[in-house]
Each structure stands twice: as structure tokens, then as C-alpha cells.
Amino acid sequence: MTVEIRPERADHPDATALIEELDGVLGPLYPAASRHGFSVAKLLAQGVDLFVLRDDGVAAACGGILYLDDARDGTRFGEVKRMYVRPAFRGRGHARRILAHLEAHAAERGVNVLRLETGIRQVEAIQLYEGAGYGYVAAFPPYVDDPLSRYLEKRLG
């Protein structure tokens, strides 16, 4: 198995397909007000650094980072966005690989805090984040408290 993670524009067909699949998974699980995933257009407009993991050349997973300044205290942080692994590629450690890649990318940019929002029904994702050292925090801007969401943070380095 050859695994490669590379930056990709959200409008590249492989990235778009992964994002659309993720939306298809999350759509039936949460009401629209509790779905915070960015569309392809918004990923591009907001300047999200998106990465696609390919397993033997096949687009298998993706994840991105949106860099923000916290309006409350000016802290620069990265928000993990659009993490997804196709079902056929699960169990191979790809989610951990993408997450580690995002953490390294943030650190290279001098950002030492990563935050994320995920849905309460994303049990495997929550376990991944907890296992990688993310802890629970209150909703951070631009989010407001939502009982269907969990907010996590990790300090890097």
C-alpha cells in the first residue's frame, strides 16, 4: 500500500467527491442548523488548506484547516474541517494520518492550537480526536452551543 497526502483544491474532482460523500453521510443525521461543514465554494472562498490522502492512487480521505483569530482574545488557531475517510478505506489508519498531517501543517505555520466541531453521532471521529489528545472545550466563535455538537481543542508542541 502506497499512501500519499497532498494539498488539493476543493474543486478538484477527487476532493469534491469526498466532500459530497461526507455531506451525504451527515445530511440524514443532523438538522441543517447543526451541520457546519463548508461547501466546496466556501472552502475555496475561506482559504481552507485542504489535503487529500490517496491509497495506491485512489482518493481515500480528506481533511483541511481553516486558520482564524479568536475574536475573544486574539489567539491564532486552526480549525479542522471536512475530515472524512471513505468506508472502503477505514481501518487502515488513514484518519490518524490525515489528522497528524494537519497538526504538522499547523505547526509549520506557527499555529499551536487546533480546534474542531463534530457531531455527537460521529462516535468514531470523537474517539479518534480523544485518542489523539483533543480535549473538550466550550463552543468557540463562530459557533454557539449546540446539543448535537462537540467542541474539541488540542495544543500542539
Q: What's the pLDDT at 70?
A: 84
Q: What's the pLDDT at 8?
A: 98
- Average pLDDT of the residues of the chain: 96
Q: 69 with 76: CB under 8 angstroms?
A: yes
- Where do runs of H (alpha helix) occur along the chain? 13-26, 40-45, 94-108, 123-131
Q: 83 with 99: CB under 8 angstroms?
A: yes
3-state secondary structure of 95: helix
Q: What's the pLDDT at 73?
A: 84
Q: What's the pLDDT at 75?
A: 84
Q: How far apart are CA 52 and CA 104, in angstroms?
A: 15
- Provide the whole-model pTM: 0.95
3-state secondary structure of 75: coil
CATH number at residue 78: 3.40.630.30
Residues of the chain with pLDDT under 50: none
Strand 149-155 relative to strand 135-136, pairing: antiparallel
Which position has the grid cell 488539493? 8
Query: How many domains in the chain?
Result: 1
Write out the three cell numbers for 118.
Answer: 463534530
Q: What's the pLDDT at 25?
A: 95
- Residue range of the domain that includes 42: 3-155
